[in-house]
Amino acid sequence: MKKFSSFALTVLFILISLTGYIPNTNAQTLSNKKITGYKKVAKQFVRRALEDRKGYHLLKELTDIGSRLSGSENSIKAIYWAKQKMESLGFDKVWLQPVMVPHWERGNIEEAKIVLSKKYNGRKLAVRALGGSIATGKNGIQGKILSVKSFDELRAKKDQAKGKIVFFDRPLDQGLYSGGYGGVWSYRVFGPDSAAKYGAVGLLLRSITTKFDNVPHTGVTIYSGKVKKIPAVAVGYLDSDFLRMALKKDPNLEVNFKLNSKWFPDAKSFNVIGEIKGSEFPNQIITVGGHFDSWDLGVGANDDGTGSIQSMEVLDLFKRLNIKPKRTIRAVLFINEENGLRGAKVYGAYADSSPQKTIAAIESDAGSGTPRTFDIDSDSLTIAKIKTWLPVLNETGILQIKKGSHGADVGQIKSAKARIGYAPDGQRYFDYHHSDNDQFSIIHPREFELGSAAIATLVYMIDREGL
């Protein structure tokens, strides 16, 4: 035995010396008996989710209400619908958490056309106001176009920007497997302020999308208050291509666009919260959530009706299978993720100051695709422990567990031991994102329900094994 131990230590020393790899001896592997038992439960979650399609039908009910922009009448209707549904599902406790949210409406005028061009005069462009944009006034904003692909190019051409409309003509990188959004979102969020800094009067943004259609994609834009506010619109992908071509042939053409969007005083809204109380450790909380608001284009089925309903269905799957959790499982439908994160901030402050301890906070806000990955934000030992559960999670379609970023909402729960982002396949996600394309019809019931089962299985593992 001593001889074997000495040999093992020698091998370990060589391994560390050559590779720098230090095996994690603290992450205990589950016994085969436990794995077999947990796999059985995972398969039950999958079967019940796929056969019942209960969450899918709830999503249909939710999206029949319509889009749910913070401060809107629809958002309040949806909030009370969700509260009633949680109560009817038999959750132990259901409540509304008040949140003051921003209230912006896009209005009913969103028009753009090319003017003062012999070749293209009167050619209309498909546009939608960026979320939070100011109005243009009844005559619209008109000017020549300064086309740029980056903030650096805008700075280099800053002397040309005064009195013009800046066109950020930067497509999402189609050559990346994932992550293309990271290279373009900042032009939507900070583009208007950046253009106004150099005297521009308006902003056109090439829509952030992976789909070659002409449906504009909106999203939040932020005014810093340090420069004059200018109106901003997203242009359909195909019309962005057209405008690029037209500017090459007629660089002096002008564009006129009109918006009658409007800001209102902050409005009272709510997070919707429901829970099943733990039988052994009721003060240990496993939170699962999605954001309940959506942009006012489409019906917010994929972003993020999916995550909200999956969160509700996780608790309901426990009830359908008569599984009594040891720890309290809490579903949180966060309001105002899209243009403020105020719901998450209110809930995060509540959770962080509570005597109850959030041991894990899981967010579903990446669409309704087939399960692929759980991204974990935690210490290395916790991540290593969760990785040992992969054979169980494989039963739901999960292929990978890795250190990664969590969702924006659960990121506000600073005290959580682990913050986890559910990451399904996302190849179609930006076809629909923040646009009229985000309809219930794009949701595949099996992919959606597998997501519910995958999250329920992870919650079950955390509940049984702890973190």
CATH number, domain at 114?
A: 3.50.30.30
**CATH number of the domain where residue 271 is located:** 3.40.630.10
Give pLDDT, residue 27: 63
One DSSP character per residue, 69-131 reads: -TTSHHHHHHHHHHHHHHHHTT-SEEEEEEEEEEEEE--S-EEEEEES-TTTTT-B--EEEPB
Element (H, E) at 165: strand 165-168
Domain boundary among 244, 263, 282: 263
Sheet holding 262-276, edge to edge: 93-105, 262-276, 327-334, 281-291, 357-364, 418-423, 373-377, 400-403
Residue 11 lies in a domain: no
pLDDT (0 to 100) of residue 17: 40
Cβ count near 47 (within 10 Å): 12
Number of domains in the chain: 2
Residues in the chain: 467
Is the link from the previous residue into 379 a cis peptide, with omega within 30 of 0?
A: no
The DSSP output letter for 29 is: P
Which amino acid is present at 181?
Y
Residue finishing a domain among 202, 231, 263: 263
User: Do 320 and 373 belong to one domain?
Assistant: yes
Q: Are residues 207 and 234 in the same domain?
A: yes
Strands 262-276 and 202-206, sheet pairing: unpaired
In a domain, 251, yes or no: yes
Could you say which of 263, 291, 314 is where a domain stops? Answer: 263
90 and 118 belong to one structural domain: no
Using alpha carbons, select from 287, 329, 293, 333 the residue that is nearest to residue 309.
333
180 and 40 assigned to the same domain: no
Tokens read off for 1: 């035995």
Residues 252 and 306 in one domain: no
Q: Please list, in sequence order, all residues whose beta carbon lies within 8 angstroms of the beta carbon of residue 454, skipping any fewer than 6 positions away.
A: 371, 393, 396, 397, 398, 422
Interatomic CA distance for residues 289 and 308, integer angstroms: 6
Let me know whether 272 and 126 are in one domain: no
Whether residue 322 sits in one domain with residue 244: no
Other beta carbons within 10 Å of 46: 22
Q: Residue 10: inside a domain, yes or no?
A: no
Residue 65 carries which side chain, given as an amino acid letter?
Answer: I
> In degrees to the nearest 10, what's the CA dihedral of 319, 324, 326, 329?
10
For position 428, what pLDDT does the model report? 97
Assigned domain for 17 exists: no
Residue 253: name the closest of 261, 262, 245 by CA.
245
The answer to whether the beta carbons of residues 83 and 96 sit under 8 Å apart is yes
In angstroms, the CA 73 to CA 54 distance is 26
Q: Are residues 272 and 175 in the same domain?
A: no
Q: Is residue 364 part of a domain?
A: yes
Same structural domain, 274 and 374: yes
Residue ranges, the chain, pLDDT below 70: 1-27
Same domain, 289 and 432: yes
Instruction: Locate all alpha helices (DSSP H) within 365-407, ordered by sequence.
Output: 380-387, 390-393
In a domain, 24, yes or no: no
Residue 80: HSE in the Cβ half-sphere, 13 Å Cα cutoff:
4
Residue 13 lies in a domain: no
Q: For residue 301, give its domain range.
A: 32-101+266-465
Same domain, 147 and 274: no
Backbone phi, then psi, for 19, in 5-degree steps?
-115, -20
How far apart CA 192 and CA 165 sit, in angstroms, is: 10
* Amino acid 406: pLDDT: 87
User: What pLDDT does 28 receive?
Assistant: 74
Same domain, 413 and 451: yes
Please check whether residue 14 lies inside any domain of the structure: no
